[in-house]
Amino acid sequence: MINNDLAEMIRKSGGVSELSMALAHSYESNASRFSNPLNPTRKMFANTGTVRVNWEASANQVLGETEVLAAYEDASDEEGPERIFIKFADGSSLNGFDKLKIKTVVEVDDIGGRNPNRNQMRSALTTYLADLMTPDFEGKRVIDQNGMCVKS
pLDDT digits (tens, 9 = 90+) for 29-40: 556 677 677 777
Can you give the pLDDT at residue 133? 83
Can you give the pLDDT at residue 1? 44
Under 8 Å between Cβ of 92 and 15: no
Can you give the pLDDT at residue 65? 92
Can you give the pLDDT at residue 58? 95
Cα atoms found within 13 Å of the Cα of residue 152, Cβ hemisphere only: 15
Band (151; pLDDT cuts 50, 70, 90)? low
Max intra-chain CA distance, the chain: 59
Band (100; pLDDT cuts 50, 70, 90)? low
Under 8 Å between Cβ of 76 and 82: no
Q: What is the mean pLDDT of residues 126-137?
A: 81
Q: What is the mean pLDDT of residues 50-78?
A: 87
Percentage of the chain lying above the pLDDT 90 cut: 18
The residues spanned by each domain of the chain are 3-95, 104-152
Distance CA 63, CA 67 (A): 8
Indicate the pTM of the whole model. Answer: 0.63
